């Protein structure tokens, strides 16, 4: 399919079909990616509960890298697609060149953070030496070699924006398969590989990310003629960076704050026990797994919305948002029901002992209630973000990922002093945010109709 055919598909194919074509491969690849995050923790849990706790405490810091990658790639996807739709080829090319420079800059920042900040971060969180030593090693490796995560999301999003979702899925899946293979080999020292413990888990993770980057870059060079000539041109333009960040900054800030939120919640939970922190880490991995269809739909939906908005087809924009909301709402209700029925099975995958199982059963049954509300809030937020109503998106994301979540955990903890009832903070946050998102989304649709 040529570039023109792919763009025509987004403008002319029935909306439900183009949503499926653009989003389904991304959903599958995100599912695979989430699986290797879960498998990573499953293997680490076999080392010890302290190892699982160390990885759980590292998760918020890893999410900062994810925030940068997802936010900037969302920005470049929306901006590039809009300029292509408007026929402004030079501005579209400059967007790609500027994004490459930005990705190099952010990768360098994380090298410095990995070398100098990993140890002090763990010293702030725990005085258990075993957890601190394992966690510092794990986080250092993930941060120093984070370029794989940052460039991976960038190159994969370029494939999606050009209508090459299947190739993006292939790139992401290649990294996941790499991680799944090398996790047990490097952690436990199977065959010719040395037993590296938690360091092996970290090297398997970043190795998978780097392998996926190489695959995505090759696929862009071979199949994405729209960006091929710009990928290796480093030409930073402040105006292009502003365009990217205007769309992507809300995601960067809110996801970055979300990682800080997890950090603060871990401090609340550590008052009860390190086991409570390990349980929260299990929930975060399960939550990410369940939200992967939403992330995939968001990835596929952004270029559809941006391109059709750029060419003035607002009816298709509204229909795409409606069908995305209906589809993800139904799927999340199904996942909620499934995981309400099998929390014990989930915990057994993480080698949960009696205490962890006792806390975790209550945690998961409370937390999975939040899934439909959180996913629908994300769909509405991304729709508004893609079409430059970033203030609404920013407020929604701040509520659900930062302000309300910390406040809910703090208040429930102070009122109940119970490491079982404290998990009610999660569904309470998502339900309140969902109601606020409905209000903002209604205003956004009215503004869209007027313009």
Domain residue extents for the chain = 12-450
pLDDT at residue 395 in the model: 87
Tell which residue, 62, 53, 97, has the closest CA to residue 260.
62
State pTM to two decimals: 0.78
Residue 415's contacts (CB-CB under 8 Å, 6 or more residues apart) are none
Query: Do the Cβ atoms of 434 and 373 come closer than 8 Å?
Result: yes
Query: Do the Cβ atoms of 44 and 51 come closer than 8 Å?
Result: yes
pLDDT in tens, the chain (451 residues): 555 565 667 767 777 788 888 788 778 777 776 776 787 888 999 999 999 999 989 988 998 998 899 889 989 988 998 888 788 989 999 999 999 999 999 999 999 999 999 999 999 988 899 999 999 999 999 999 999 999 999 999 899 888 787 898 889 889 988 998 999 999 999 989 999 999 999 999 999 999 999 999 999 999 998 899 899 999 999 999 999 998 888 778 777 777 888 899 999 999 999 999 999 999 988 998 899 889 888 878 888 887 877 777 888 888 888 999 999 999 999 999 999 999 999 999 898 889 999 999 999 999 999 999 999 999 999 888 777 677 888 888 888 888 899 999 999 999 999 988 999 999 999 999 999 999 999 888 887 766 6
DSSP label at residue 400 = I
Tell which residue, 118, 219, 222, has the closest CA to residue 175.
219
Residue 92's contacts (CB-CB under 8 Å, 6 or more residues apart) are 80, 83, 84, 226
Whole-number Å distance between alpha carbons of 285 and 289: 6
Whole-number Å distance between alpha carbons of 28 and 44: 24
CA 196 to chain centre: 27
Whole-number Å distance between alpha carbons of 262 and 66: 14
24 CB burial (10 A radius; 0-12, 13-18, 19+): middle
Residue 126's contacts (CB-CB under 8 Å, 6 or more residues apart) are 57, 132, 135, 270, 274
Here the tokens at position 207 are 């190795």
Query: Do the Cβ atoms of 154 and 103 come closer than 8 Å?
Result: yes
> Cα separations (Å) of 50 from 41, 148, 262, 264?
12, 27, 18, 19
Tell which residue, 190, 210, 189, has the closest CA to residue 141.
210
Dmax (CA) of the chain: 65
Query: Do the Cβ atoms of 1 and 163 come closer than 8 Å?
Result: yes
Here the tokens at position 40 are 């990573």
Whole-number Å distance between alpha carbons of 239 and 36: 38
């Amino acid at each position: 399919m040529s570039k023109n055919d792919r763009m025509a598909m987004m403008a002319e194919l029935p909306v439900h079909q183009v949503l499926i074509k653009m989003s389904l491969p991304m959903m599958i690849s995100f599912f695979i990616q989430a699986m290797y995050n879960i498998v990573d923790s499953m293997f680490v849990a076999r080392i010890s509960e302290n190892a699982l706790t160390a990885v759980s405490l590292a998760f918020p810091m890893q999410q900062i890298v994810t925030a940068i990658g997802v936010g900037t790639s969302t920005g470049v996807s929306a901006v590039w697609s809009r300029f292509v739709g408007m026929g402004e080829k030079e501005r579209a090319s400059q967007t790609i060149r500027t994004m490459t420079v930005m990705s190099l800059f952010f990768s360098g920042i994380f090298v410095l953070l990995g070398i100098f900040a990993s140890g002090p971060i763990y010293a702030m969180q725990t005085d258990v030496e075993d957890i601190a030593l394992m966690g510092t090693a794990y986080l250092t490796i993930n941060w120093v070699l984070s370029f794989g995560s940052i460039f991976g999301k960038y190159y994969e999003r370029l494939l999606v924006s050009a209508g090459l979702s299947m190739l993006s899925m292939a790139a992401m899946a290649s990294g996941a398969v790499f991680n799944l293979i090398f996790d047990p080999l490097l952690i436990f020292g199977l065959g010719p590989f040395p037993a590296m413990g938690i360091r092996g888990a970290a090297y398997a993770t970043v190795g998978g990310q780097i392998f996926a980057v190489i695959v995505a870059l090759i696929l862009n060079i071979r199949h994405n003629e729209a960006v091929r000539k710009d990928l290796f041109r480093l030409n930073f333009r402040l105006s292009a960076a502003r365009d990217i960040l205007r769309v992507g900054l809300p995601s960067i800030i809110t996801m970055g704050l979300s990682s800080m939120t997890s950090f603060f919640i871990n401090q609340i939970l550590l008052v009860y026990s390190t086991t409570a922190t390990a349980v929260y880490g299990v929930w975060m991995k399960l939550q990410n797994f369940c939200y992967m269809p939403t992330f995939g739909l968001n990835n596929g939906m952004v270029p559809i919305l941006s391109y059709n908005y750029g060419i003035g087809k607002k009816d298709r924009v509204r229909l795409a948002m409606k069908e995305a909301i209906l589809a993800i709402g139904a799927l999340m209700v199904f996942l909620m029901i499934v995981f309400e029925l099998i929390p014990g099975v989930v915990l057994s995958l993480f080698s949960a002992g009696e205490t962890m199982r006792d806390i975790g059963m209550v945690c998961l049954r409370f937390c999975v209630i939040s899934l439909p509300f959180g996913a629908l809030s994300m769909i509405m937020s991304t729709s508004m973000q893609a079409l430059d109503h970033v203030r609404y998106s920013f407020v929604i994301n701040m509520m659900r990922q930062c302000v309300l979540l910390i406040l809910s955990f703090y208040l429930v903890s102070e009122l109940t002093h119970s490491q079982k009832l404290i998990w009610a903070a999660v569904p309470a946050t998502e339900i309140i945010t969902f109601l606020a998102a409905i209000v903002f989304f209604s205003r956004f649709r009215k503004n869209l109709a007027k313009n």
